[in-house]
C-alpha cells in the first residue's frame, strides 16, 4: 500500500494494478475506495493471460485520460510540426487524429474515402495522402452537373464521334495518370453510368473510352482517393450511388 501511495503522490494520473492473492470484497473495496488501485490481477501462472490483458487495458486507459488534458509542450510541438508538413493549420484532438491517420494511410495503395462537409480541407488531406506523388490530379465531380458526358470523357477518355464536339480520340485521366493518384471530390455526384464504369476499372484494372463500340480495353494503374459528404450512405440507400462501388472506394475511411 505504501508503494501505491507514493506513486499516487508523485504521479497522480499513473495507472496502478495490484497483483494479489486476497481477492476478498473487503480488500478490493478498500483499495478502490481509497483510490490506490485502478485494477486487480490474481497471483499464479494461470493468471498470465489476465495479467497481459490488465496491463494493456491500463495503458489504453492512461492514453485516453492523458489525452483529455493539455498535451505536454514537446508533444504539442511534434504534432504541430507533423500537421504543418501536411499544410494543416490548427490545434484540436480531431485534427490531431487526422494527422495520425494520414501518417498511417499515406503508404497504403488501397482506395480511401474522406468524409466531410464542403470547405473542411478534404483536398489538402488527399494531397497529404498522395505522399508526394507528382502525378496528383484532382477533379470535382459537382462542377460537371448537367454535363455527364464531358465528365466521363474527362475520366475515361473518348473516341471520335462519341458525341457532338468529340472530333478526335482522346485519352482520359485514368489512362494518363497511370502510376499516379486521382482525387475525385464530391464523388457522390458522379453519374450512375460513370459509377458502373469506375467500379469495373477498380475490379479489372482496365478502362474503356467513351463511345468505343469495339470495346477495346486499356490497362491502367492508379491510386484512387475520393471525398464525399457524409450523406453518401443515404444516397446509397436511395439507389443514387452504386453499393458495390461504395465498398470498393471505402476500403479505408477518414
pTM: 0.63
Using a 10 angstrom Cβ sphere, with 0-12 exposed, 13-18 middle and 19 or more buried, the burial of residue 223 is buried
Kindly report, residue by residue over 210-253, the tens digit of the pLDDT. 877 777 888 888 899 999 987 788 888 888 899 899 988 988 88
| Beta strand extents in 21-75 (DSSP E only) | 39-42
pLDDT tens digits, one per residue of 83-131: 666 666 666 677 777 777 887 787 778 889 998 887 777 888 898 888 7
Average pLDDT over residues 132-140: 86
Give me the residue label for grid cell 477518414. 254
- Residue 2, Cβ neighbours under 10 Å: how many? 7
Amino acid at each position: 500500500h505504501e508503494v501505491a501511495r507514493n506513486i499516487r503522490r508523485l504521479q497522480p494520473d499513473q495507472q496502478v494494478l495490484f497483483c494479489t492473492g486476497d481477492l476478498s470484497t473487503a480488500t478490493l473495496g478498500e483499495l478502490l475506495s481509497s483510490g490506490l488501485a485502478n485494477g486487480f490481477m490474481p497471483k499464479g501462472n494461470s493468471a498470465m493471460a489476465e495479467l497481459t490483458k490488465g496491463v494493456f487495458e491500463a495503458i489504453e486507459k492512461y492514453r485516453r485520460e492523458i489525452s483529455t488534458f493539455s498535451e505536454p509542450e514537446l508533444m504539442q510541438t511534434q504534432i504541430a510540426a507533423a500537421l504543418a508538413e501536411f499544410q494543416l493549420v490548427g490545434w484540436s484532438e480531431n485534427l490531431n487524429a487526422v494527422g495520425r491517420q494520414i501518417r498511417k494511410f499515406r503508404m497504403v495503395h488501397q482506395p480511401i474515402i474522406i468524409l466531410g462537409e464542403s470547405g473542411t480541407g478534404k483536398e489538402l488531406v488527399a494531397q497529404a495522402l498522395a505522399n508526394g506523388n507528382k502525378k496528383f490530379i484532382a477533379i470535382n465531380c459537382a462542377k460537371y452537373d448537367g454535363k455527364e458526358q464531358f465528365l466521363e470523357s474527362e475520366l475515361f477518355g473518348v473516341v471520335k464521334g462519341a458525341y457532338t464536339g468529340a472530333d478526335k480520340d482522346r485519352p482520359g485521366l485514368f489512362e494518363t495518370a497511370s502510376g499516379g493518384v486521382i482525387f475525385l471530390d464530391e464523388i457522390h455526384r458522379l453519374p450512375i453510368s460513370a459509377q458502373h464504369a469506375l467500379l469495373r476499372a477498380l475490379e479489372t484494372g482496365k478502362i474503356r473510352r467513351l463511345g468505343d463500340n469495339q470495346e477495346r480495353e486499356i490497362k491502367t494503374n492508379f491510386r484512387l482517393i475520393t471525398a464525399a459528404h457524409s450523406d453518401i450512405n443515404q444516397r446509397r440507400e436511395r439507389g443514387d450511388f452504386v453499393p458495390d462501388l461504395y465498398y470498393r472506394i471505402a476500403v479505408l475511411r477518414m
